[in-house]
Amino acid sequence: MVNDGSTTNTTNTSEPADTAAAPAAPTAPTATVPAAAPSQAGWDGTYRYAFDGGRNAGGDATIVTYTLVLTPTTCRFSAEGYQTDEDILCTATRTPERVDVAFKSYADGGTNDAYGNAVYSVGDSLFALERNGAQVFTRWKGYTLPDEKPHRPAVYFTR
């Protein structure tokens, strides 16, 4: 796996201010232990989704398999199947509840697809994975599935 430094970790630090807090009472000295950061490594892994577009007029199956690989240093999104072959390096902005996947470049380092088209700009949001209880929902954003229809947030990827 390529260590391309494309993962960005973020945490939500916006908490309401407590303006009515009473002054703290003096306490006995204690050892200082650094606060643990929320676990964001829980997103690491390989996620797969198979889009089944049925059969075309010639009777061929129109299946595209999507793979998302997240490690502490890598974000890679690929699509392979019927008339599709993409390999995208991405950035992953993580919180404990969500990971946003954005376009960085194609695997060759360029920003144009195999046909010379600039489909995405660097930083364009492709999709987000969101925890919903024990399930992980996908919210499609700039990435379009082969049927080119809007898709509601739902469970698409499995790990």
Residue 55: pLDDT over 90: yes
Indicate the pLDDT class of residue 99, thresholds 50, 70 and 90. Answer: very high
Specify the pTM. Answer: 0.74
Q: What is the 3-state secondary structure (H, E, C) of 11-43?
A: CCCCCCCCCCCCCCCCCCCCCCCCCCCCCCHHH
Residue 76: pLDDT over 90: yes
CA distance 111 to 157: 25
Residue 154, classed as helix, strand or coil, is strand
Lowest mean pLDDT among 47-51, 79-83, 87-91, 131-135: 131-135
pLDDT of residue 40: 58
Q: Are strands 84-94 and 7-9 parallel, antiparallel or unpaired?
A: parallel
Rama region for 104: left / alpha / beta (φ>0; ψ in -120 to 50; rest): alpha
pLDDT of residue 39: 42
Residue 9: pLDDT over 70: no
CA distance 124 to 71: 20
The pLDDT mean for the chain works out to 81
Number of other CB atoms surrounding residue 75 within 10 Å: 25
